[in-house]
Structure 1
């Protein structure tokens, strides 16, 4: 064999070895070398107890559990208070996207703020992952290819609550509704379910977000004689309405259904007043060993058990970081494709699936608030009445007005 032929054979062998040898993973294609997550929430207003600082803590926990970095690059967390004002939320989002290089905005409690920020994110090719924007518009006519609604939407809450209560004899309903996108959507979805099952809506009244006096609204609901008074509001509004309903002795003659009440609301109201009330949510801290284990860690940081919003924040931040790591970068389209194609199965999401319209469907729980005597330890507030399977709780995909394919 000539020296030239031997050299060629040696070079070919080296090429073959290189072709089959494992190669190091490519460096993450991060837009500025850092993954930045923004928690845009209500830190001081009526939704601050259900989201607020608890959402910041949950996001921080998820980042720490992921190791504080993704693909060898650091993960940073920023937070801001949108004050429940779409113009303030929009201004913060533009600053974050354009100047501060934030890659994903999460939480967005308050549907009006969330819808506004969703549109800005779509224009900037950025991701939004919603826990506090639960209006059905987010996954229907205003759906976005860079958005996922990680918690239940108004349809899931309203459908699960109304379905169970109408079948228990609650045939006539009166709604007390917060006058914003979330409240209107929640009432609309609940009313549709009531009517579909043969019930009737005998009336409704809207109240401003910042109200604290529900006396006139409750008197109208009481005078209506409705079997069920549906509270289509949340946070401080729900707390005030339930406390004042007790003063008017509305229960047990009429059933009070808080369509979007949270664990922290019941804690603030107290079991003596809230007992017997029905609550619908997609998470309860005391559901099983997995929920209890994470919730006790959260409690050590927050000194309160987590709401559904808090648990969902941990879930979505974890899955977002997994997606960034899997695709090797923070490009919104690639990350969204990875998120939607990856299974979501953790202590928060049961029987979960991300649909093409951006809806994460999962099991929903109809729960009844315990009596003081039935509660045996702190934050032991609910008994699970019904587990509503994801496919039944959420609307069929073919019914969605979202144009995403």
Structure 2
């Protein structure tokens, strides 16, 4: 027999077995199962987050206008969020700016009422009823929104510098100032209209929470929306419409067997957790490797007090220990007050109550000699009470 190839007697095979593979991979399988169950349950039971409302002063999403609202209020500009023409009319004080970012929900009569307000007007994008809200301004095309230079003498734009502008480009009426041009046509137009000033911008994303901190977007938004002490911010009313009749929700489209499978998987995970969970056995008493005498503990603490010159803590420890040991011998409850303890000790030992009170509740010793004297006096009192 070839000894080089003969297996040794009693040697064990090192190839993995099914049992060893299961022991090594069951933890990974359990984690994967929990992840899958969590994902399925999250899809079935988790509700979606609230729908974002672009350029809504109360919306904190990336497309909302909460950041601009806070900036305006920090500069003492009153921001009033309204969702109807009647509210806008009630808020119009003559020293206001009306911001219109969405007019799709308005009727023509409501647009005419908005056009008659005395407030300055800031119209975002090519809105519905453009001819009523910004007379003389028309838009025929759109351009890519990107960082652009103002290239105009308008103080609100020149002071802000480059901004994230684009969207609709406008044909400005006579006497208007155009800024942030794209292909020769402005994406921001401002012109006087009687006692009011009307401003139209092609894209309002420079005012959103996402873009406000870029370039000069915040400065431009502040200059346009915060020119007057009050800003009336008109947004679309929140809809409370239910599902369309005849349509099924996502949960209704899920077969009933899927819900039952999720319940079964949850039970399996629970049983696996019980099976693999760590079980605590009985308490095992062990001998301490080192036995420290009580006297050494006391001496060590005393050295620490002495090193830190903590005479007040040392005196407090002496008094507390004395009181705990003496109070039961005097027949007093643990909640007895200082006067009762002083009277009982003085009556038992014959010492003057004034000296007893000073020893138990007086100020801490001024030096180490005073601390030693206090300890000696307390030992004498304890001995007399015990005897």
So what's the TM-score if we normalise by structure 1? 0.22
Larger RCO (CA within 8 A; separation ≥ 6): 1
So what's the TM-score if we normalise by structure 2? 0.23
Greater C-alpha Rg: 2
